[in-house]
Amino acid sequence: MAIVGKPNVGKSSLINKLLGEQRLIVSDIAGTTRDAVDAALEWNGKEYVFIDTAGLRRKNKIKEDLERYSIIRTVTAVERADVVVILIDATEGVTEQDAKIAGIAHDRGKGLIVAVNKWDAVEKDDKTIYKFTNKVREVLSFMPYAEILFISAETGQRLPKLFECIDMVLANQSMRVGTGVLNEIMSEAVALQQPPSDKGKRLKLYYITQVAVKPPTFVIFVNDKELMHFSYTRYIENKIRDTFGFKGTSLKFIIRERKDKE
Ligand SMILES: Nc1nc2c(ncn2[C@@H]2O[C@H](COP(=O)(O)OP(=O)(O)OP(=O)(O)O)[C@@H](O)[C@H]2O)c(=O)[nH]1
Ligand SMILES: [Mg+2]
């Protein structure tokens, strides 16, 4: 599990709380953590390794080297991880900087959890969670599949829920769906919404199969790759998600051409 996020968002505090000891260095000076530190711990009889990272700063001339350095550290941590927990500071709201950090995990097809931290420090009414959730969905619109949790590294609020979420995302990253059922879903989807056509030629979808996990990866065989628009792939993806969820994980689609059957 890689814990990523802006400076001062509470990454080290979260790992400290999970460890139940003050092993990592926590401070309110942004940019405290310089190196990634691994922390192994047990939860409900299972072992988890958490990777702390240095917070990613906004670009700034003087700090450009430091910025580049922390991006490299974040990328390395993300690449080593199965699940990436993106921390957002509830007292500051979700920003473009958060989107940039989340994008690093999204681009690499990692399991994703968005944890809004410092929830204890926010004044709340009955609509606060709803409004914050909408804002996160808006800024992180490229990853609608991500789970969103509201936590506090300080009080420990919803940390058991965080582990439940991690287990669920891990399972979804490794889920395999049978070819039979995939082709049933695809045929049904095609019947419900006609595939696009161009210059008199219509897209035909012949066959779909899952070829890999982490992230779940599907190959779709079609008559003409050019006709398989992003939006139709997204439509098929949504149909698969309607049945299997795949919460917390991106899905990858590879489009291959095959000669016409007849
Ligand atoms: N109220 C509140 N404060 C928190 C919470 N989590 C962290 N903090 C405070 O936020 C400050 C920064 O915490 P750190 O854990 O050092 O943040 P970090 O993300 O590791 O920061 P860098 O290593 O600099 O990137 C500290 O003063 C913490 O006490 C929380 O859940 N609630
Ligand atoms: Mg830190």
Domain check: are 190 and 240 in the same one?
A: yes
Nearest of 145, 164, 166, 162 to residue 250 by alpha carbon: 145
Ligand 1 center to 72 CA (angstroms): 22
Q: What does the pLDDT read at residue 40?
A: 87
Q: What does the pLDDT read at residue 93?
A: 96
Residue 82's CATH number: 3.40.50.300
Question: Is the CB of 28 inside a 6 Å radius of any atom of ligand 1?
Answer: yes
Last residue of a domain, one of 119, 142, 173: 173
Q: Which residue's CA lies nearest to atom 21 of ligand 1?
A: 8
Domain check: are 190 and 161 in the same one?
A: no
Domain check: are 157 and 247 in the same one?
A: no
Residues of the chain with pLDDT under 50: 262
Domain check: are 113 and 200 in the same one?
A: no
Q: What does the pLDDT read at residue 260?
A: 64
Q: What does the pLDDT read at residue 252?
A: 96
Q: What does the pLDDT read at residue 262?
A: 47
Domain check: are 39 and 160 in the same one?
A: yes
Please, which residues bridge with residue 248 across strands?
Answer: none
262 within domain boundaries? no
Domain check: are 207 and 101 in the same one?
A: no
Question: Is the CB of 12 inside a 6 Å radius of any atom of ligand 1?
Answer: yes
Rounded to 5 degrees, what are φ and ψ at 205? -105, 115
> Contact, 157 vs 122, CB < 8 A?
no
Residue 222's CATH number: 3.30.300.20
Question: Is the CB of 7 inside a 6 Å radius of any atom of ligand 1?
Answer: yes
Rounded CA gap, 79 and 56, in Å? Answer: 16
Last residue of a domain, one of 152, 173, 194: 173
Structural domain range at position 241: 179-257
Ligand 2 center to 190 CA (angstroms): 49
Cα angle 68-170-39, degrees, rounded to a multiple of 5: 55
Q: What are 54-106's pLDDT values in tens digits?
A: 766 555 555 566 666 777 888 999 999 999 999 999 999 999 989 999 999 99
> Contact, 89 vs 118, CB < 8 A?
yes
Last residue of a domain, one of 173, 202, 232: 173
**Residue 224 CB neighbours (<10 A):** 16
Domain check: are 222 and 237 in the same one?
A: yes
Ligand 1 center to 27 CA (angstroms): 7
Domain check: are 90 and 213 in the same one?
A: no
Rounded CA gap, 237 and 3, in Å? Answer: 28
Domain check: are 186 and 106 in the same one?
A: no
Rounded CA gap, 136 and 156, in Å? Answer: 22
Q: What does the pLDDT read at residue 32?
A: 63
Q: What does the pLDDT read at residue 38?
A: 82
Q: What does the pLDDT read at residue 80?
A: 93
Pocket test for ligand 1, best of 3, 4, 6, 8 (most atoms within 8 A of CB): 8
Rounded CA gap, 138 and 249, in Å? Answer: 18
Alpha carbon 139 to its chain's center? 13
H or E stretch at 87: strand 83-89
Nearest of 101, 89, 84 to residue 135 by alpha carbon: 89
Q: How many domains does the chain have?
A: 2
Domain check: are 107 and 194 in the same one?
A: no
Domain check: are 139 and 213 in the same one?
A: no
CA separation, residue 210 to residues 135, 178, 216, 218 (Å): 33, 7, 7, 4
**Residue 159 CB neighbours (<10 A):** 17
Rounded to 5 degrees, what are φ and ψ at 159? -70, -35
Ligand 2 center to 258 CA (angstroms): 51
